[in-house]
């Protein structure tokens, strides 16, 4: 069932008001990090100023010593929703994108240990590279999409959205209990295992099924 309002939604990068991320949403990540299995989606926000599109480099802020790649399925909201049920949630999806949720692990680890917010480690400029909008009807099953990421040609991440702990309807329903989701908002569904640090000079390439690929040069600030 496609969202009725998706014709104007190809420009989520300019028109979206928020980016909602979900952390630790693949079991292989939970196991590798030796953390408890989340009982509800672990939600964070990123600013839309963090968006980056192909043709521009990822710029690593000099304040961070360790920034990691995370390849993810992005979900673009099509219609405003609040308190939507899981059964109804997909009606509010306009489409998808391939996304990277770049994360300063140095900041994340120290901030988490100190009980502080880790907004800056996920929200810096260029920390959310995204592909073009992929309309809802172009994706047969959002929960059967392969994801891959290479650094300098070497495969570093391989996963499938079939392995999401909280699936797209569960995430939308859960988040909408707390905050209104609006047209062009983006949900980052979490990354499969294998995310690790990269550095200036690297080339990062990633892809999602036969729907999208993207490639970025990395440079220092
Ligand atoms: O960076 C993290 O620790 C969590 C995260 O975004 C993910 O699992 O996708
Ligand atoms: Mg992530």
Contacts of 10 (CB under 8 A, 6+ apart): 132, 133
Residue 148 lies in a domain: yes
CA distance 135 to 61: 33
Tokens 């699936």 — which residue? 167
Domain count, the chain: 1
Q: What is the pLDDT of residue 115?
A: 77
Residue 166 lies in a domain: yes
Q: What is the CATH number of the domain that holds 169?
A: 3.90.850.10
Structural domain that includes position 23: 6-220
CA distance 63 to 110: 13
Q: What is the pLDDT of residues 166-185, one digit of tens each?
A: 999 999 999 999 999 999 99
Count of helix runs (H) and strand runs (E) in the chain: 6, 16
Check whether 1 has a pLDDT greater than 50: no
Residue 35 lies in a domain: yes
Residue 80 lies in a domain: yes
Tokens representing 6 are 């998706």
Residue 188 lies in a domain: yes
Residue 1 lies in a domain: no
Residue 206 lies in a domain: yes
Contacts of 116 (CB under 8 A, 6+ apart): none
Which ligand does the CA of 101 lie closest to?
2
Residue nearest to atom 9 of ligand 1 (CA): 190
Residue 144 lies in a domain: yes
The model's pTM is: 0.94
Atom of ligand 1 nearest to the CA of 122: 1
Atom of ligand 1 nearest to the CA of 101: 6
């Amino acid at each position: 069932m496609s969202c009725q309002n998706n014709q104007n939604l190809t420009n989520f990068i300019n028109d979206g008001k928020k980016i909602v991320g979900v952390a630790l949403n693949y079991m292989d990540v939970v196991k590798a990090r030796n953390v408890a299995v989340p009982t509800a989606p672990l939600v964070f926000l990123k600013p839309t100023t963090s968006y980056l599109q192909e043709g521009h480099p990822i710029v690593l802020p000099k304040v961070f010593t360790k920034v990691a790649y995370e390849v993810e399925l992005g979900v673009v909201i099509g219609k405003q929703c609040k308190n939507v049920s899981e059964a109804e949630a997909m009606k509010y999806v306009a489409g998808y994108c391939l996304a990277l949720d770049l994360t300063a692990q140095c900041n994340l680890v120290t901030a988490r240990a100190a009980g502080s917010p880790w907004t800056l480690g996920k929200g810096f400029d260029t920390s959310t590279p995204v592909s073009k909008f992929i309309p809802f009807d172009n994706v047969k099953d959002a929960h059967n999409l392969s994801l891959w990421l290479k650094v300098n040609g070497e495969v570093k991440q391989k996963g499938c959205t079939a392995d999401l702990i909280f699936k797209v309807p569960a995430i939308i329903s859960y988040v909408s209990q707390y905050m209104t989701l609006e047209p062009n908002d983006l949900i980052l569904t979490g990354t499969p295992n294998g995310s690790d640090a990269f550095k200036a000079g690297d080339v990062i390439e990633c892809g999602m099924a036969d729907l999208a690929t993207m490639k970025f040069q990395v440079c220092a600030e």
